[in-house]
Amino acid sequence: MNIRLLAGLVALGLAVAGCGGATVDGTAGSSAPAGGSSASAGSAGTVKIAINPWVGYEASANVVAYLLENELGYDVELPEIKEQLAWEGFETGDVDVIIENWGHPDLKKQFIEDKKVAVEAGSTGNKGVIGWYIPKWMADEYPGITDYRNLNKYAELFRTSESGDQGQLLFGDPSYVSNEDALIRNLKLDYKVVVGGSEAALIKSAQQAQEQRQPLLFYFWDPHWLFSKTELVRVNLPPYTEGCDADPKKVACDYPEMDLDKIVSKRFADTGGKAYELVKNFSWTNEHQNAVADDMTNGGMTGEEAAKKWVEANPTVWQAWIPK
Amino acid sequence: MSSTAVSAAAGLRLPRWAVPAGAAVVIAAAYVVFRGTATLPHDDEAPQFLAVTELREWIDDHRNDNPLFLYFLNYIRLFVGALYTFFQGVLHALGWPGITGVMGALAWLAGGRRIALVAVAGVSTFGVLGLWESSVDTLALVGVAVLLSLAIGIPVGVWAGLSARVRRAVTPVLDVMQIMPTFAYLAPLALFFHIGAPAGAIATMIYAIPPAIRITALAVSEVSPTAVEASVSLGATRRQTLVKVYLPLARSTMALAVNQTIMMALSMVVIANLISAPGLGGDIIRGLSRAQVGIMLPAGVAVVVMAVVLDRMTMALVDRDPHARLRRLDLVAAGVPAAAGVALIPVLPQVWPESLTIDMVAEVNAAVAWAETNWYAVTTFVKDATSYALLNPLESLLTSAPWWLVALTVLLVAWRVSGLRRALTALACLLAIALLGVWEHTMQTMTTVAVAVLVALVIGLALGVAAARSPRFSAVQRPLLDAAQTMPAFVYLLPALALFGTTRFTAIFASVVYAVPPVVRLVEDGIRAVPAPVVEAAVSAGSTPGQLLWKVQLPMARPAILLAANQGIVMTLAMVVIGGLVGAGALGYDVVSGFSQRTDFGMGFVAGVATVLLGVMLDRITQGADRRPSPRKRKVT
């Protein structure tokens, strides 16, 4: 019938017979990666790449998925699992690959060093930086607004029905990397974080703010296609110095520039074969990612179509990733 | 106790409203004097939260070596996981021809040709929408959850039906379970069963079990004692009486238990995606986190279609004549699609062919974008007006009032409306919330709930009164209400999100739409239940229709209206909490954020507990209302 089912039942039987107790390690139960669903007879296996909710991530995931499927003959699942839950997915077997990881030193310590269920698989080649942004017209109109020390002076501009009598700092998805609350507290800013809930909410607000000259202060990040379409200016927080963000409660400095990297489950690194090699070799530039992300958001393409277009246009880039 | 207070007041010949009005004045004065003192501001790093977060870290570290997990909880997880894999494996092996055929056959057996057509059309819809695989995963998850719910719920229900003592023990637990918002189930389950499909199935099972127990108990206890007596006096053993008398006679009501269990399960499976359960929930959450209604809508439609198909199939079982036997013709007729479906498995592709899907993501997104730009002025006005006129003032009132004043007010209101015992329960819940460290967010959530309930009651009363007075209007409205009540809760978030983006108002809009149908129904039934002679008397005494409504029908329907308010509050709370996904903030957002950020797990967990306490509190404040005689009546007696 079904290999995964058999594997599950056998593991259950063994566990009961052995009386050794049952552990949660993803080798049994619903999520053994090796079998694949019965639809995939003849496939090289199934790779589960977690999808985190921003389009740049999806661009990378879709390109890798496209190559895994079409060049190496794997099945790829793209489950919607947010950043930190995806790390837990390494343990339960729900996730094999996080294709774009933003720092997370605490999770690295916990899941890579302590639990040993995950390993690093190298840089994606992308440089990532998070920051606070305003539309360009505001920087032109209000002198000194890009300095955090002047933000309180202009707080009134940023008031909305959601932020009451404080200025609004618009945030994205609840799962994003965030020091916002600590920054507002520690820099004594008269602002309130209002959660837009998604990348799309941030983009829409940013575009409206620039086109209709509405005030907006918002959380955003580079690499992102939006920078080539809408003029945005970054607000200067106290500059990042090594270790200034060590204690999440006491952060009072800007975000660092991060080398975005790939994390895979230990099991996938050991048994993933060519799929693991491809993931490990995957490395491209911010421009590549932005091109695919732009096609997905504004070109009306699905992730697969956008990936196909990029793969066809850039054979020399990806051919270097394919394991020999 | 409250009645003594009222009668003492009456003895002094004070008007009836004097005591409440006096209390209100005192409370208002106390607010003015003490505003801003003894508030309990929110702290993300409260020790209560950190303790839970640490507990979670500890559990995560010891999941594989602590005996409780090693020998008990992990086996449950493993068992449910294997069951899910089995269901999923079978369904995927059947492929779409197999599933379509088998579902058609089952539907035919349940309710004949028409239901079979509904089932076949419904199953094909999943494919047409391009959501075949997610739908099958959801079906498997629902299957596992419902199977387990029934496996546990029916025996417990039968026991509770046979023994009054068991029933008394079980009822309060079920009461609390039924007012618990879906969100509150997730965090504890993630704690014990980790994330993924098994945890999702267990959460869904627990959520869906109350109706299975309750309705089964009802069915069994309603079996005619004469029949039982007859069977016992004929020498039947207890077992025989149970299997041959109780169960067959209770069958059609028990089918209703199955129906309700399935419906509950369907509204939970989507939310279970927050702890990484697979299926259509993933598509909906993906749409939410991209703010793309085009992604959500097909998935929402698929869940609704699944609900309708399963509802019709099980309702057909409920309605069937209990004495009718299956005719051979039906068996043959049902066998044909099943056999055809299974026979076609090797021939047709397992996955729905892509050429037969309709991709409407772009069109829906375009329509939503159009509505956004063209209705922007109106929607923004409605949203901002509500925020500035109602939400912000009420919120700052509640958060700036001293906690003891809020507690005192709750105690007095609950005492007045529902009696002392319920008032004390409500007070205990509120104090527990304060101790948990989520006071400020609870007050914010309460604000949103209050505004939403207000709007829902106004609309519900208007529609209910209209329906009670015009049979034609009622006939048009009924099927709409039926349909609305079959839909899983989060489906209402979609149009709200499309119109209002992510704000508190989105949650209010969605919860109003969600809570209005039961309110309308209760109000309509309440007004219709006013005895005809009373209406006649009023009319012959020369009442205008307006007077009839305000002086006779509404006062007489008071218990029904208060019950409607109670229902409205419980449903609104559930929805406002889910609204944390779309910008409602406060407790609901804490829960969402608890699943997204590991360091916030404790806060999310505590917020989940607080929503339960808040639910119990609001329920207790309003619950007694329908059972107490109205003050007017009391004066007469």
Rounded to the nearest 10 degrees, the angle between the axes of helix B403-418 and helix B601-623 is 40
Which tens digit of pLDDT belongs to each residue from B423-474?
Answer: 999 999 999 999 998 999 999 999 999 999 999 999 999 999 999 888 899 8
Torsion sign (Cα): B111, B299, B359, B342: negative
Is A94's CB within 8 Å of B501's CB? no
In this structure, the answer to whether residues A268 and A287 fall within a common structural domain is yes
**Phi and psi, residue A269, nearest 5°:** -65, -35
The answer as to whether A201 is a domain residue is yes
Residue of B nearest to A94 (CA): B196
Which residue from A minimizes the CA distance to B95? A39
Would you state the structure tokens that stand for residue B415, as one six-digit string? 């005492």
> Which amino acid is residue A47, in one-letter code?
V
CB contact under 8 A, A94 and B75: no
Instruction: Give A163→chain B minimum CA distance, Å.
Output: 9
Type of residue at B591: V
Q: How far is A316 from chain B (nearest CA, A)?
A: 31
Interface probe, candidates A80, A111, A177, A302, chain B, greatest B C-beta count within 10 A: A80
Distance from CA of A323 to the nearest CA of B (A): 30
Which of A237, A257, A277 represents a domain boundary (last residue)?
Answer: A257
Please report the pLDDT score of residue B6 as a whole number: 46
Q: Give residue A63's identity as a one-letter amino acid code.
A: V
Q: How confident is the model at residue B353 (pLDDT cuts 50, 70, 90)?
A: confident
**B198, B583, B598: residue with CB nearest A84:** B598
Would the pLDDT of A101 be above 90? yes
Alpha helices in B291-359 (DSSP H): 293-319, 328-344
User: What are the C-alpha distances in Å from B156 to residues A254, B76, B209, B218, B314?
Assistant: 58, 19, 10, 12, 21
Domain boundaries along the sequence of chain B: 2-32, 53-352, 380-636
Domain B380-636 has CATH 2.60.450.10: no
Contact B196 A89 (CB under 8 A): yes
The Cα B180–Cα B174 span in angstroms is 10
Each residue's pLDDT tens digit, B154-196: 999 999 988 889 999 998 888 888 777 777 778 888 888 888 8
* Whether residues A65 and A99 fall in one domain: yes
For helices B376-386 and B504-528, angle between their N-to-C axes, nearest 10 degrees = 80
**A30–B197 C-beta distance less than 8 A:** yes
Percent of chain B with pLDDT over 90: 21
Q: What is the 3-state secondary structure (H, E, C) of A82-143?
A: CHHHHHHHHHHCCCCEEEEECCCHHHHHHHHHHCCCEEEEEEEEEEEEEEEEEEHHHHHHCC
Count of A-B CB contacts under 8 Å: 171
Given the candidates 1.10.150.120, 1.10.3720.10, 3.60.10.10, 3.40.630.30, the CATH classification of the domain at B53-352 is 1.10.3720.10
Are residues B597 and A37, on separate chains, in Cβ contact within 8 Å?
Answer: no
Residue B241 and residue B239: Cα distance in Å, rounded?
5
Nearest to B81 among A30, A51, A82 (CB): A30
DSSP state at residue B35: T
Phi, psi of A46 (to 5 degrees): -115, 135
Neighbouring C-beta atoms of residue B632, cutoff 10 Å:
11
| Range name among A155-159, B462-466, B595-599 with the lowest pLDDT average | B595-599
Q: Is the dihedral of CA B384, B388, B390, B395 positive or negative?
A: positive
What's the per-residue H, E or C state across B284-298?
HHHHHHHCCHHHHHH
A122 and A150 both lie in a single domain:
no
Using the beta-carbon criterion (under 8 Å), do A195 and B289 form an inter-chain contact? Answer: no
Phi, psi of A205 (to 5 degrees): -65, -40
Cβ contacts (< 8 Å) between A21 and chain B: which residues? 67, 70-71, 74
Hey, are the CB atoms on A85 and B71 less than 8 Å from each other?
Answer: no
Does the pLDDT value for residue B216 go beyond 70? Answer: yes
Which residue out of B186, B289, B354, B387 would a mutagenesis test of the A interface target, given it has the greatest number of A Cβ atoms within 10 Å? B289
Quote the percentage of chain B above a pLDDT of 70.
Answer: 94
B290 contacts A199? CB cut-off 8 A: yes
- CA atoms of B217 and B123, how far apart (whole Å): 33
Q: A253 and A133 share a domain? A: yes
CA distance A310 to chain B (A): 21
The per-residue pLDDT for A9 is 54
* CA torsion angle B409 B411 B413 B418 (round to 10): 170
CB B524 within 8 A of CB B474: yes
d(CA A183, CA B494) in angstroms, rounded, equals 33
Tokens at B31, concatenated: 């607010």
B157 to chain A nearest CA, in Å? 30
Residues A102 and A172 in one domain: no
Please tell me whether residue B2 adopts helix, strand or coil conformation.
Answer: helix
How far is residue A115 CA from its own chain's centroid? 22
Count of domains observed in chain A: 3
Range of A314's domain?
A: 44-127+259-319
A55 plus A112 within the same structural domain: yes
Residue position matching structure tokens 């109003």: B512
Q: Verify whether the Cβ–Cβ distance A162 to B503 is below 8 Å.
A: yes
Whole-angstrom distance, CA of residue A160 vs CA of residue B181: 30
Of the pLDDT bands very low, low, confident and very high (cuts 50, 70, 90), residue A147 is: very high
Instruction: Please tell me the predicted confidence (pLDDT) of residue B620.
Output: 86
B599 contact residues in A (CB cutoff 8 A):
248
Q: Tell me the per-residue pLDDT of A63-83, one tens digit each, with 9 for 90 and over.
A: 999 999 999 999 998 888 888
Query: Mean pLDDT lowest for which of A144-153, A192-201, B63-72?
Result: B63-72
Question: What does the pLDDT read at residue B121?
Answer: 92
Task: Give residue A3's pLDDT band: very low, low, confident or very high (50, 70, 90).
Answer: low
Is B597's CB within 8 Å of A88's CB? no
What are the tokens at A266? 């230990």
Structure tokens at B566: 């109670």
- Residue B292: name the closest of B504, B500, B492, B498 by CA: B498
In a domain? residue A269: yes
| Cα nearest neighbour of B59 on chain A | A24
In this structure, are A241 and A294 located in the same domain? no
Q: Would the CB atoms of B596 and A300 count as touching at under 8 Å?
A: no
CB < 8 Å to B273, chain A:
80
Closest-CA residue to B184 (of B438, B501, B509): B438
**In angstroms, rounded to a whole number, what is the distance separating the alpha carbons of residues B462 and B477?**
13
Residue type, A145: I
Residue A246: helix, strand or coil by DSSP?
A: coil
Q: Are residues A253 and A176 in the same domain?
A: yes
pLDDT, one tens digit per residue, over B103-123 is 989 888 888 888 999 999 999
Q: DSSP string of A152-178?
A: GGGGGGG--TTTTTSEEEEE--TTS--
Last residue of a domain, one of A210, A230, A257: A257
Query: Residue A201: its chain B contacts at CB < 8 A?
Result: 291, 501-502
Average pLDDT over residues B619-630: 65
Query: A198, B288: Cβ pair inside 8 Å?
Result: yes
Q: How close A37 comes to chain B (CA, Å)?
A: 7
Inter-chain touch B388–A178, beta carbons under 8 Å: no
Which structure tokens are listed for B17? 């409203």
Structure tokens at B453: 């309930």
Who among B77, B384, B597 is closest to A29 (CB)?
Answer: B77
For residue A229, the domain's CATH number is 3.40.190.100
| Size of chain A in residues | 324
Contact A79 B197 (CB under 8 A): no
Kindly give the pairing relationship between strand A218-222 and strand A118-135: antiparallel
Contacts of B607 in chain A (CB under 8 A): none
Quick one: tokens of B144? Answer: 């596992």
Q: Pull the structure tokens for residue A88.
A: 């837990």
Contact by Cβ (8 Å): B432, B613: yes
- pLDDT (tens digit per residue) in A103-133: 898 899 989 998 899 999 999 999 999 999 9
Cβ separation B196–A198 shorter than 8 A: no
How far is B442 from chain A, CA to nearest CA, in Å? 17
Indicate yes or no: CB of B273 within 8 angstroms of CB of A80.
yes
Q: What is the DSSP string of B514-571?
A: HHHHHHHHHHHHHHHTS-HHHHHHHHHTT--HHHIIIIIIHHHTHHHHHHHHHHHHHH
Choosing among B43, B72, B78, B447, which should be mutated to test the A contact, i.e. which has the most A CBs within 10 A?
A: B78
In angstroms, the separation between the Cα of residue B242 and the nearest Cα of chain A is: 34
Give CA–CA dist B633/B537, Å, rounded.
Answer: 18
Least CB-CB distance to B78: which of A15, A107, A196?
A: A15
pLDDT digits (tens, 9 = 90+) for B297-342: 888 889 889 988 998 888 888 777 666 666 777 777 778 777 877 7
Q: Out of A159-163, B243-247, B320-324, which region has the weakest mean confidence (pLDDT)?
A: B320-324
Q: How far apart, in Å, are the Cα atoms of B349 and each of B96, B297, B354?
A: 8, 26, 10
Let me know whether A155 and A253 are in one domain. yes
Please answer yes or no on whether A88 and B278 come within 8 Å at the CB atom: no
Contact A117, A92 (CB under 8 A): no
**Helix/strand number for chain A, H first, E second:** 12, 9
| A171 in Cβ contact with A180 (< 8 Å) | yes
Mean pLDDT, all residues of chain B: 84
Phi, psi of B149 (to 5 degrees): -60, -45
Compute the average pLDDT of residues B42-71: 83
Confidence at residue B325, expressed as pLDDT on a 0 to 100 scale: 65
- Residue B164 makes CB contacts below 8 A (sequence gap 6+) with none
Using DSSP's 3-state secondary structure scheme, residue B189 falls into: helix
Least confident window among A29-43, A143-157, B353-367: A29-43
pLDDT at A218 over 50: yes
What average pLDDT does the segment B516-533 reach? 89
Mean pLDDT highest for which of A193-197, B6-10, B494-498? Answer: A193-197
Q: Would you say residue B84 has pLDDT above 90?
A: yes
Q: Do you find a cis peptide bond into B225, omega within 30 degrees of 0?
A: no
- Domain membership of residue A39 (yes or no) is no
Residue B631 pLDDT level (bands cut at 50, 70, 90): very low
Among A10, A43, A85, A212, the residue to mutate for chain B (most B Cβ within 10 A): A85
- Residue A26 shares a structural domain with residue A116: no
State the number of CA atoms in the 13 A half-sphere of B127 facing the CB. 18
- A66 in Cβ contact with A57 (< 8 Å): no
Do A303 and A253 fall within a single domain? no
* Contact list, B89 vs chain A (CB under 8 Å): 1-2, 4-5, 37-38
Specify the pLDDT at position A29: 35
**Best B80, B283, B290, B383 residue to mutate vs chain A (most A CBs within 10 Å):** B290
Q: Whole-model pTM?
A: 0.82
The CA-atom distances, in angstroms, between B394 and each of B511, B513, B571, B575 are 18, 22, 21, 19
Q: Alpha-carbon distance B218 to B234, whole Å?
A: 25
Q: Same topology for domains B53-352 and B380-636, yes or no?
A: yes
- Of B70, B72, B83, B125, nearest to B100 by C-alpha is B125
Residues whose CB is less than 8 angstroms from the CB of residue B324 and which lie 6 or more positions away in sequence, other chains included:
none
Domain boundary among A257, A272, A287: A257
Instruction: Find out whether B227 and B244 touch, Cβ atoms under 8 Å.
Output: no
What is the nearest CA distance from B324 to chain A, expressed in angstroms? 37
CB contact under 8 A, B502 and A197: yes
**Which of A5, A181, A198 is facing B86, going by the closest CB pair?**
A5
